Amino acid sequence: MLPMQSLGVDIETVKGFLDAQEGAALFDAALTSAALGPCLEIGSYCGKSTVYLGRACEQKNTLLFAVDHHRGSEEHQLGEEYHDPQLFDAQQGRMDSFREFRTTLARAQLENTVVPIVAPSALAARYWNTPLGMVFIDGGHSMEAALTDYRCWAPHVVRGGLLAIHDVFPNPADGGRPPFEIWQLAQASGLFEAMPLVKTLGILRRL
């Protein structure tokens, strides 16, 4: 198990929805794949997954690209289930997690390892040409958002690299279906081989 003190910050004080066991699996996955190229995550929110991935990338002397428009997913909006008033910019009348994200990077001393890309996933991917050792998808959970993330970023994973998807629920009674469906789509493509799930974290290796 990953020693929590090695993350450089008390991870439980970072806002987010990533389980510690899933985070440790992300850390290990990034450690093994970072030798193949930089890593990239979609859906940084306040930086909990960024700390796990970024610390692994730091150890391997590579970079983590963190893609998020920081305006929140559907469930983060005003009046929705996961809305956080502390992340709501009353002056703009919009959710904004970027300030909190930057604070997390500073606390974890990862500002020289993590490259924030503050843009929608499809926009950030439009002219992307850098091969990636690992891609972690944890963006919007609508079918449109999940498909966009998968179609935009999975092709950039190099052979032997990893594609990770959060909130994969095989039982529809446990949670939303889009992450599970793109996890299945990746396997059906013949380009990825699935490894055992770590709670709701699906990790697949590019063949």
**What is the mean predicted confidence (pLDDT) over 53-73?**
93
- When mean pLDDT is compared across 39-53, 60-74, 173-187, the lowest value belongs to 60-74
DSSP code of residue 26: H
Judged by DSSP in three states, 116 sits in: strand
In the predicted structure, residue 163 carries a pLDDT above the cut 80: yes
Considering 65-79, 112-126, 162-176, the range whose residues carry the highest mean pLDDT is 112-126
**What is the mean predicted confidence (pLDDT) over 134-159?**
96
* Cβ-based neighbour number of residue 54 at 10 Å: 31
What residue spans define the domains of the chain?
Answer: 15-71+97-206
**What is the mean predicted confidence (pLDDT) over 125-152?**
96
**What is the mean predicted confidence (pLDDT) over 50-61?**
97
Catalytic residue among 69, 70, 141, 166: 141
Structural Rg of the chain based on CA atoms: 16
**What is the mean predicted confidence (pLDDT) over 33-57?**
96
CATH 3.40.50.150 corresponds to the domain 15-71+97-206? yes
Residue-level pLDDT at 164: 98
Q: Catalytic site residue 69?
A: no
Distance CA 155, CA 9 (A): 33
Q: What is the pTM assigned to this prediction?
A: 0.92
In the predicted structure, residue 77 carries a pLDDT above the cut 60: no
